[in-house]
Amino acid sequence: MDILKKSFKKSIWVFHLSTAACNNCDIEVLELLTPRYDIERFGMKLVGSPRHADALLVCGAVSAHAKPRLLEVYRQTPKPCLVVLFGSCACSSGIFRDSYSIVGPVDKILKKEDPDVKIVYIPGCPPKPEAMIEGIVMGLGAL
């Protein structure tokens, strides 16, 4: 396990999914790849499949349509994995909390599926890219 933890802390690969977000957070995530923030200098990279990912980056409150897909993606991600909730909607469903179509914040859903899930919360609407870099670094430190 130690070697797993040690290797996990270097150059994590991130799978990004949006579950009924306003896509502002999603754009800020992509912003991280561009020359201004250039997150790849830390070895972080967005990947195209959850099976390659060390961390899941979830944006948005979860709609009923997206919930089964979120759980499926979480099951496909190799463990241990870090779940990063980016933005107020992902952390608490935010302004959409009362809606009939929203079935709850991401952490509630994932904790039902896996009680040991490791979650990092980055609130903000949207959080600045710097906040996300710091959030992931803090999350890795806490593992």
Residue 106's Cβ-count burial label (10 Å; 0-12, 13-18, 19+) is buried
Residue (80 or 104) nearer to other proteins, CB: 104
**What six digits make up the tokens of 18?**
């949006």
> Pick from 7, 9, 11, 30: which binds other proteins (CB under 8 A)?
30
Min separation Cβ 9 and other proteins, Å: 22
Max CA-CA distance within the chain?
A: 45
60-119: contacts with other proteins (CB under 8 A): 60-61, 63-69, 72-73, 94-96, 98-104
Length of the chain: 143
Residue (48 or 141) nearer to other proteins, CB: 48
Min separation Cβ 81 and other proteins, Å: 15
Min separation Cβ 60 and other proteins, Å: 8
CA count, 13 A, side-chain hemisphere, 32 = 26
Phi, psi (rounded to 5 degrees) for 62: -95, 120
Residue (60 or 139) nearer to other proteins, CB: 60
Q: Is 135 in the site for other proteins (CB under 8 A)?
A: no
Closest C-alpha to 73, from 106, 104, 102, 103: 106
Beta strands in the chain (DSSP E): 13-18, 45-46, 55-59, 82-86, 118-122
Binding site residues, other proteins, CB under 8 A: 15-28, 30-31, 33-36, 40, 46-50, 60-61, 63-69, 72-73, 94-96, 98-104, 125-126, 128
